[in-house]
Structure 1
């Protein structure tokens, strides 16, 4: 292999490492975000009651 091919292979290796790191970090951020934001999913939803003013009863 010539020096040009070696540089091209080194660049492809760096690109692949960058893509793997980007995918892993995005997956980590998404899963942590879901864990933090969906913590309230286990609790029952409170129902809003309609308040009627005493003057209209």
Structure 2
């Protein structure tokens, strides 16, 4: 294998590692974003469930 091939393979490996890291970090950001959105959406429902029985007593 010539030096040019070796450099190309090293560059390709670095690019593939970068792409994999970007995909993983994007997945984490999306997962955290969904968790925050779902958490925010559930809070008013939980409050309503607490308030409704208290007001009907």
Q: Give me the TM-score of the superposition, normalised by structure 2.
A: 0.70
Q: How many residues align?
A: 46
Root mean square deviation of aligned Cα: 1.6
Q: Which runs of 4+ in 1 moved over 2 A?
A: none
Structure with the larger helix share: 2
Please, which runs of 5 or more residues in structure 2 have no aligned partner? 1-8
Q: Give me the TM-score of the superposition, normalised by structure 1.
A: 0.70
Please, which runs of 5 or more residues in structure 1 have no aligned partner? 47-57
Select the structure of larger CA radius of gyration.
1
